[in-house]
Amino acid sequence: MDELNLESWRYKRVVQVLKDYEHFDHIIQAVEESIRVPYKQDDAASDRRGTKVVSETQTEVLYRVETDKRIVFYRKAQRAVKELLNECDTDTKTIINELYIPRYPKYTLDGLVQKNILSCGRNKAIDKRKQFFKYLDAMLD
């Protein structure tokens, strides 16, 4: 991890965000659904008088959806990755799209260089990946 100049947990967070990038919409939808339709255990005393069950109002549910830490993080991460991929050069896009976003990557960084998929050498490719990771890490904080 020394080559990236990121702490281990930061490197792992960036890689995990890139691996989950394609699934962010599904993850956000699942979290929203769990907030809107929470699991409630059957109450054995629910048929008795005096057990007041106050359900949340629609406004409270919408507020919880908008302020949930997981949803806020996933939306922020999705925006950050999309923004950085739009701004970076083609080699960096290729590195990220081939090595981190697919579930089963076909290549390694060396493979991308050897097959002439990248128009730069190995050291330049490492620098481009490192730069992308640093920017993404800064945007996630």
Which of 111, 70, 117, 69 minimizes the C-alpha distance to 91? 117
Q: What is the pLDDT along the chain (141 residues), one digit of tens a residue?
A: 444 577 889 999 999 999 999 999 999 999 888 888 766 665 555 555 555 555 667 777 777 778 788 989 999 999 999 999 999 999 999 999 999 999 899 999 999 999 999 999 999 999 999 999 999 999 998
Q: Which of 114, 116, 135, 113 is nearest to 124 (CA)?
A: 113
pTM: 0.77
CA gap 135, 117 in Å, rounded: 23
